[in-house]
Amino acid sequence: MPLPASIQLRNGVALPTVGLGTFKASGQELVTAVQAALAVGIRHIDTAEIYKNQEQIMQGIRAAGVPRSE
């Protein structure tokens, strides 16, 4: 059985089943990983304040040019 593209949450939001994990990722490697993930259509990026890598994730998103609405 193929993996569904998304899972419907109770609040109606569709959460993509495939995403980019960012735990322990940092620096330019993370910026590049976020750009690459977005380039191939991944729209679920795991983030948590405790990871302390929001700045690099933001840089990757901005560099990819993908609108926040996606």
Nearest one of 39, 41, 33, 34 to 17, comparing CA atoms: 41
Residue 67 has pLDDT above 90, yes or no: no
Residue 25 domain-assigned?
A: yes
pLDDT of amino acid 48: 95
Q: For the residues 27-37, what does the mean pLDDT come to?
A: 98
Residue 6 domain-assigned?
A: no
Residue 53 domain-assigned?
A: yes
Point out the catalytic residue in the list 6, 26, 42, 51. 51
What's the mean pLDDT when you consider all of the chain?
Answer: 95
Total count of domains within the chain: 1
Residue 39 domain-assigned?
A: yes
Q: What is the pLDDT of residues 51-60, one digit of tens each?
A: 999 999 999 9
Residue 8 domain-assigned?
A: no
Residue 58 sits in which domain range?
Answer: 18-64
CA angle 51, 8, 58 (to 5 degrees): 30
Q: What is the pLDDT of residues 38-51, one digit of tens each?
A: 999 999 999 999 99
Residue 10 domain-assigned?
A: no
Residue 69 domain-assigned?
A: no
Told to judge if 3 belongs to the known catalytic residues of this protein, a careful annotator would answer no
